[in-house]
């Protein structure tokens, strides 16, 4: 599969795909005899994983470390597990912060919905 096809398939620019490979976020992509990138299904799985992990907030450095560990073999299962568990913990903390912000925003929205209905801001007037 060409880089253009992979770019369309995953909604990533060709420059992003090249960057992922250059920095080690995905292993080196298979090449044709003339040196053009020829993405295999395995290469595409790596692209999909990188996109997912980046979307989950995994820093580039951690993704590179994860790829290196994978390429070192099965003896790195414990380190990979730890890296993923740490990222999960970070995501849960982010979600908790987002939930707090949503709760606060919902409270504000309720106050202003009441103000629209009554013409007055409930409670402390204009105090936010």
Q: Are residues 58 and 10 in the same domain?
A: yes
Q: How many domains does the chain have?
A: 2
Residues 64 and 91 in one domain: no
Enter the pTM of the model. Answer: 0.77
pLDDT in tens, the chain (128 residues): 999 999 999 999 999 999 999 999 999 999 999 999 999 999 999 999 999 999 888 899 999 999 999 999 999 999 999 999 999 999 999 999 999 999 999 999 999 999 999 999 877 545 55
Residue 39, domain CATH: 1.10.1660.10
Residue 16, judged by CB atoms within 10 A of its CB (0-12, 13-18, 19+), counts as middle
Last residue of a domain, one of 72, 88, 116: 72
Q: Are residues 63 and 45 in the same domain?
A: yes
State which residues form the domain around 104: 74-128
């Amino acid at each position: 599969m060409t880089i253009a096809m992979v770019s369309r398939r995953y909604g990533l620019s060709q420059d992003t795909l090249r960057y992922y490979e250059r920095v080690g976020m995905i292993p080196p992509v298979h090449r044709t005899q003339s040196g053009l990138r020829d993405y295999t299904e395995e290469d595409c799985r790596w692209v999909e994983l990188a996109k997912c992990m980046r979307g989950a907030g995994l820093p580039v450095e951690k993704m590179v470390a994860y790829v290196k560990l994978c390429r070192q073999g099965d003896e790195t299962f414990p380190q990979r597990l730890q890296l993923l568990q740490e990222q999960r913990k970070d995501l849960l903390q982010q979600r908790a912060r987002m939930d707090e912000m949503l709760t606060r925003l919902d409270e504000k929205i309720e106050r202003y919905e009441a103000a629209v209905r009554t013409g007055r801001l409930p409670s402390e007037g204009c105090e936010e």
